[in-house]
Amino acid sequence: MEDKKTFDKNSIIGFTLIGLILILFMYLNPTQDVAPEEKPAEQVETSVQKNPEVASPQSSPSLAETTGSSLQDSVTAELAKREYGAFAYSAVKDFAKDDAVTTIENEVLEIQVSNKGGQIVEAKMKQHDTYKGEPVYLIKDGNASFNISFEANDGRTYNTSNLYFEPSLSTENGNQTLSMRAKVSDIEFLEFYYELEPGDYMMNFGIRSQGLSNLISSENANLSWEVKALRKAKSISYENRYTEIVYLYEGDKDDYTGQGDEAIEEDELIEWIAFKQHFFTSILLSDQAFPSAKMTSINLVQDEQIDTLYTKNFLAEVPLKLNNGEFSESMNWYHGPSDFDILSSYERKLDEIVPLGWGLFGWINRYVFIPFFGFLSSSLPSYGLAIIVMTIVVRIVLSPITYKSYLSQAKMKVLKPEINEINEKYKDNAMKKQQETMKLYSKTGVSPLAGCIPALLQIPVFYALFQFFPSAFDLRQKGFLWAEDLSSYDVIYEWDAYIPLVSWAYGNHVSLFPILASVAIFFYTQMTAGQNMQQSSQPGMPNMKVIMYFAPLVMLIFFNNYASGLSLYYFISNLITIGIMLVIKHVIIDENKILAKIEEKKKKPKKKGKFGRKFQEIMEQAAEQQKKKQGVKEDDKKGSKKIDKK
């Protein structure tokens, strides 16, 4: 309801008259008792003995007190009517208190609902703590608001957040049901309905009304839900990276607001809206899709060095269609972990909230890594060991690809002397040099792309795991070795002073797992760079020396604030890869045998396929055009010389 605090002339006159009447009434009706008529002493004494209560001067309120109380009630009712309009009926009741709350709870969740606004003012996770050891709150200390506004035929705009609701709590078969009613009369009301089942994070939530069709003048109402996300993790920048609004629309499409300072999304047929934090989320679901919704996300972390209480401010604005002037909405409310298994159990596509990656990457996580890691973590005594075993299995499965890649590099190494000869022989003719190089590749059956293709095949797996570890709720607050929490960064040294650039890029702490991963990556890139160094001299090829130092540096800086579980994976993965490459190099692959096979293949006549013939024709045409261009340039030079002589 809109606040109308401006007093007009009639209001001032009315309050003045009421005050004068009260003063005049008190003056004409003093509080002293009227003296009774004189009676004989015996009669008075007898009366006192028979009816002591009646004879007492304090036995009943005087006419002045009764009339004054009635007048005070009338004044209170009038003021309530001015402030709350048709809902003044509830505003004068005993439950009309701003700090009055009703609690519903089960084994995992505790919800407090306020009489003011009938809205949730506290949502506590009973089985989870923050990094400081405090209970996890999704809603607390006024960080959230829920409001429905609608137009009325008395010219007012009512806001439910300003109204008082009468609570009624009941329990049946373990289910707790809370009815909150903002009343116009004893039989006319607006009701918010909450129902919480045992052991469940999902609540049934409904909005309905009775007898308000004569009051409400609009066909639609506006629902507004706002939450400032409370910080819960040690690294606010890392937590904020996974904090955003996610929503499902048009049946099976999901979208999100992203990580900008301010992001706004609007869509139609909204199934649910999730205010997602890194590992916890609040979701509003509707049995019938909302016709449309506008979602706004504002980043509240402007300086990561400041101990900020909130990460982002979320706002959802949704129109509600009234049914013949009455509310009739059936919804659900979820306050709980962003756990893939829990969210997927509701079969409403809530698992889309967990960022597993799009397309193929998400498919790999959903059907391979999540079930496999769940099996390992339930079978092994430590989540750190589960990560190590999972990494070993992944590297073994990918080892044939690693072998193909290394074999291609070995072949290129064997051909390096011949390639150098071609480069030296045709250093002034780029086209001829390219032709001869391609002929050599064709004769020997070696392809420079053969080493790149296996590496590309591993990208979906690497990216899927990059998405998996930061989203794995099971890693939260699970320690391993010196890491207290595998879902956050590990610390071996930290400091308080802000160091320009260093604190901004690296942080105010040193994590050991990223250092170990960086060292492993350095040795791995040194091994691969040694095999590919000859390619770096060719035009368009990257400088392998730069990559050899750049990749470990990125790992060292970028992953210092990332989850230690992810750094542990990269460390173990690169160690295993180095071991596999050493075995391939010294045990499996013999460069002399590779050279002998290449020489033998050179002697065999190679039948050119359709693609080979076409490619050769293109190369020949390009060479012919190149010759013509060079001939034209020489003719131009000769012509210019003749002109100069003249």
Cα atoms in the 13 Å half-sphere on the side-chain side of 194: 25
In whole angstroms, what is the distance from residue 128 CA to residue 110 CA?
Answer: 12
Helices (H), 178-327: 236-241
- Nearest to 190, CA basis, from 142, 231, 147: 147
Does residue 634 lie within any of the structural domains?
Answer: no
Does 377 lie in the same domain as 295? no
What integer pLDDT is reported at residue 204 of this predicted model? 94
Q: Which of 358, 387, 377 is nearest to 464 (CA)?
A: 358
Last residue of a domain, one of 333, 354, 375: 354
Run means of pLDDT, 10 residues per run, the chain, 646 residues = 42 49 46 40 35 40 48 63 84 87 94 94 92 89 93 90 93 91 92 94 94 89 94 82 91 85 91 93 93 92 72 93 90 94 92 87 89 91 92 86 73 72 72 71 64 71 86 88 87 80 78 90 74 47 60 82 87 87 74 64 55 55 62 56 53
Is residue 118 within 8 A of residue 178, CB to CB? The reply is no
* 274 in the same domain as 199: yes
In 285-347, which ranges are continuous DSSP H helix? 340-344
Beta bridge partners of 216: 152
Are the C-beta atoms of 509 and 493 separated by less than 8 Å? Answer: yes
Number of domains in the chain: 2
Phi-psi map region of 317: left, alpha, beta (phi>0 left; psi -120 to 50 alpha): beta
Distance of CA 454 to the CA centre of its chain: 34
Bridge partner residues of 292 (DSSP): 268
User: Are the C-beta atoms of 184 and 211 separated by less than 8 Å?
Assistant: yes
Q: What is the DSSP string of 550-570?
A: HHHHHHHHHGGGS-HHHHHHH
pLDDT of 108 reads: 94
Residue 26 lies in a domain: no
Indicate whether 282 and 212 sit together in one domain.
Answer: yes
Query: What's the CATH code of the domain at 123?
Result: 2.70.98.90
Which residue range(s) make up the domain with 266? Answer: 74-354
Phi-psi sector, 528: left (phi>0), alpha (psi -120 to 50), beta: alpha
User: CA-CA distance, 639 to 225, in Å (whole number)?
Assistant: 81
The answer to whether residue 432 is domain-embedded is yes
> Residue 496: its pLDDT value, please?
77
Q: Which residue has the tokens 């979701």?
A: 283
The answer to whether 315 and 295 have CB atoms below 8 angstroms apart is: yes
Question: Do residues 273 and 284 lie in contact, with contact meaning Cβ atoms separated by under 8 Å?
Answer: yes
Do 272 and 316 contact (CB within 8 A), yes or no?
Answer: no
Distances (CA, A) of 478 to 17, 309, 563: 71, 24, 11
Name the nearest CA neighbour of 465 among 541, 538, 373, 402.
373
Q: Is residue 181 part of a domain?
A: yes
As a whole number of angstroms, the distance between CA 390 and CA 365 comes to: 13
Structure tokens at 506: 């690296």
Burial class (CB in 10 A: 0-12, 13-18, 19+), 128: middle
581, exposed or middle or buried, with CB in 10 Å at 0-12, 13-18, 19+?
buried
Least Cα distance to 205 among 331, 289, 107, 306 occurs for 331
Contact 322, 148 (CB under 8 A): no
Q: Which two tokens stand for residue 61?
A: 């309120």
User: Looking at the structure, do residues 464 and 518 belong to the same domain, yes or no?
Assistant: yes
The verdict on 276 and 147 lying in the same domain is: yes
This prediction's pTM: 0.74
Does residue 4 lie within any of the structural domains? no
In angstroms, rounded to a whole number, what is the distance separating the alpha carbons of residues 364 and 375?
16
Listed in sequence order, the residues at least 6 apart from 437 whose beta carbon sits closer than 8 Å to its beta carbon are 419, 422
* Distance from C-alpha of 166 to C-alpha of 95, rounded to nearest angstrom: 6
d(CA 302, CA 279): 22
- Which residues, listed in sequence order, are joined to residue 416 by a DSSP beta bridge? none
Lookup: tokens for 260: 């900008």
**310 and 399 fall within a common domain:** no
Residue-level pLDDT at 602: 56
Q: What share of residues in the chain are helix, strand, coil (percent, to 5)?
A: 45, 25, 30
Whether 546 is in a domain gets the answer: yes
Cα separation, 47 vs 506, in Å, equals 94
Longest Cα–Cα distance of the chain, Å, equals 161
What was the pLDDT predicted at 48? 34
One domain for residues 117 and 164: yes
Question: Between the CA of residue 366 and those of 127, 362, 467, 478, what are the distances in Å?
Answer: 26, 6, 11, 22
Of 321, 354, 387, the one marking the end of a domain is 354
Cα→Cα distances 498→233, 304, 503, 504, 560, Å: 20, 11, 6, 9, 16
Q: pLDDT at position 593, please? A: 67
Do 579 and 450 lie in a common domain?
A: yes
Contacts 24+ apart (CB under 8 A), 455-458: 455/405, 457/401, 458/398, 458/401
Same domain, yes or no: 344 and 371:
no
pLDDT at position 440: 66
β-partners of residue 191 are 181, 208
> Please, which residues have CB within 8 angstroms of residue 518's CB and are 6 or more apart in sequence?
552, 553, 555, 556
Distance CA 473, CA 342 (A): 10
pLDDT of residue 52: 38
- Kind of pairing between the strands at 280-299 and 244-249: unpaired
How big is the chain by its Cα radius of gyration, in Å?
39
How distant is the alpha carbon of residue 168 from its chain centre?
A: 34
- Same structural domain, 414 and 349: no
Instruction: Give the separation between CA 646 and CA 637, rounded to whole angstroms.
Output: 15
Of 326, 354, 382, the position where a domain reaches its end is 354
Q: Is residue 245 part of a domain?
A: yes
Map 376-442 to HEC letters: HHHHCCCHHHHHHHHHHHHHHHHHHHHHHHHHHHHHHHHHHHHHHHHHHHCCCCHHHHHHHHHHHHH
Q: Do 302 and 370 share a domain, yes or no? A: no
Q: Are residues 186 and 256 in the same domain?
A: yes
Please report whether residue 590 resides in a domain: yes
